[in-house]
Structure formats: C-alpha cells, structure tokens
Amino acid sequence: MTKLFNVLLVLLLATPAFAAESVDIPEEELARETVLPRFDRPDNVRNRNVVTEKKIEVGLYAGANFTEPIYSQAKVGLNVGYHWSEDAALMFNFAKWMSGRNSQYVPGIEQKGNLDFNRVPNLEYSLWGNYELKTYYGKISLTKQGVMNLSLYPIMGLGVTKYTHKMYPGLNAGIGQKFYFGKSLALRIDFKFQYQQGPNPFLKGGLANSQPAPDAGEFEDKFRLDNVMDIGLSYLF
C-alpha cells in the first residue's frame, strides 16, 4: 500500500509545469466592437416578387349579396384602380346587378300573400370608390420549388346604387385578399359590409295583385346592412 502511495505521489509531482500556466492574449488583439451580420445581397431581401407601386389594376369579377331577400343576389362587375405605393391604392368597383327576383324566397311569399314583387323598383347597378391599405404581403409554398404570393388589405369606401327611379348613397367596409399566379395576374376575393339606402320593397297595399300598380316614388326609402362577396381575376399594368 505504501509503495502504491509513493508511485501516485511521484506521478503527481511529475506533472508538467505548463498545466498550471495561464495564457495571456495581447490587449490589442481583443475585439472592441460588435458587428451585426450582413446579407451578401441585401437588395434581394428587400425586393418583392410582386411590385404594385405606380401600377394600374384592372379586373373582372362575379359577386353576390347574401342578405338580399327580394332582388336577385347575383352581380357581375369591373374593378379599376391605381396603386400609388406598395401600401395603398384607390379602386373603383362597378357592378351590374342581375335582373329578376330572388328565386329562393320570392315565389313562396308571392303565392302566400297574392303579391307581385315585379312592381318593386328594379335594382340596376352600383359604383363604389374604395381605399385599400395593404397590411400584409407574403407567400405560401405550393410545391418544393413553387410559391404563391399573397396580400391582405382592408377596404373602406363610399358609393351609390341605382334603382329604376333614383340613386341612393352608401358606405362600405371590409377585407380582401389576393393570390398571385405570377407578377401580374391574381385571384381577388373581397368581403364587404355595405350600409346603404334603397327602396323598401314591402309597400303596404301596393304589391297586391288586386290593386293598381304603384309608382316607383311611392316606395319608402330605407337604410339596410348587406353582406357582399366578390370573386374574380385582376391584372397589374
């Protein structure tokens, strides 16, 4: 046991002296500043695949008013606008409403009450001027090599709606989204709440088949809130 202790003591005392030495680094070689990482090509990081600034947008669409009980809910229209920056645009939305009445509700109401809703002033067209603020721009991956750019934007605006005898004011607000198939062509989907004035189609005594047809001016003006969705294609020039 004593021999083993002596061997361990000799090995311990024989450890090289440099194990206890400290390493000194000259002060001038120490870093005194912090440097942020830089991209090799920063322009590629900032640039967008879809550029909208100072471009004109034109598009065709189909839409519907989901809360309309009497008139036809369907419409077709045209969007024309100008993007003065990457964040904002002014769009004009024109819609031609389909003629006829709502086939889901009107026949049953007419049959039950012996009424004729063809006496109601016809809804013809509408025109809106909307401000769009782009709040999000990004992309989604469709395949390993393919991506689709998209943008999200709130919609706010004023407009008018034309009936047979009169034009009525209104305002709308909503949100829209575009899915780009390239640098110019996009699928555009807009959902809007429209608060607007129009004729009240329920004129007491004026819709009965047994009574003379009323004049369009006899229908009372009334404000209403509608839910409208537009789906179509847009192109940047």
Domain span at residue 176 reads 54-236
Percent of the chain at pLDDT > 70 equals 80
Amino acid 171: pLDDT: 98
Considering the domain boundaries, does residue 80 fall inside one?
Answer: yes
Percent of the chain at pLDDT > 90 equals 73
Distance CA 148, CA 138 (A): 9
Reading the block at residue 138, the tokens are 């990004």
Residue 30 has pLDDT above 70, yes or no: no
Burial call 162-192: b when 16+ CB within 10 Å, e when fewer? ebeeeebebebebebebebeeeeebbbebbb
State the virtual CA torsion across 112, 116, 121, 127 in degrees, nearest 10.
50
The answer to whether 188 and 61 have CB atoms below 8 angstroms apart is: yes
Considering the domain boundaries, does residue 160 fall inside one?
Answer: yes
Amino acid 222: pLDDT: 96
CATH for 211: 2.40.160.20
Distance CA 92, CA 90 (A): 7
Distance CA 69, CA 190 (A): 21
Amino acid 10: pLDDT: 54
Tokens 């989901």, located at residue? 66
Distance CA 133, CA 128 (A): 16
pLDDT tens track for 52-84: 999 999 999 999 999 999 999 999 999 999 999
Determine the 3-state secondary structure of 8 from DSSP: helix
Work out the average pLDDT over 97-109.
95
Residue 173 has pLDDT above 50, yes or no: yes
Considering the domain boundaries, does residue 37 fall inside one?
Answer: no
Considering the domain boundaries, does residue 2 fall inside one?
Answer: no
The answer to whether 128 and 93 have CB atoms below 8 angstroms apart is: yes
Q: How far is CA 66 from CA 116, 121, 151, 192, 230, in A?
A: 22, 20, 25, 11, 11
Opening angle at CA 145, ends 142 and 148, nearest 5: 40
Distance CA 227, CA 173 (A): 10
pLDDT tens track for 10-24: 555 555 544 455 566
Amino acid 141: pLDDT: 85
Considering the domain boundaries, does residue 12 fall inside one?
Answer: no
Residue 38 has pLDDT above 60, yes or no: no
Considering the domain boundaries, does residue 65 fall inside one?
Answer: yes
Residue 112 has pLDDT above 60, yes or no: yes
How many structural domains compose the chain? 1
Nearest C-alpha neighbor of 202 from the set 182, 227, 222: 222
Task: Give the pTM.
Answer: 0.78
pLDDT-derived band at 48 (thresholds 50, 70, 90) equals confident
Amino acid 4: pLDDT: 55
Considering the domain boundaries, does residue 174 fall inside one?
Answer: yes
Considering the domain boundaries, does residue 48 fall inside one?
Answer: no
Residue 45 has pLDDT above 50, yes or no: no
pLDDT tens track for 117-138: 999 999 999 999 999 999 999 9
pLDDT-derived band at 145 (thresholds 50, 70, 90) equals confident
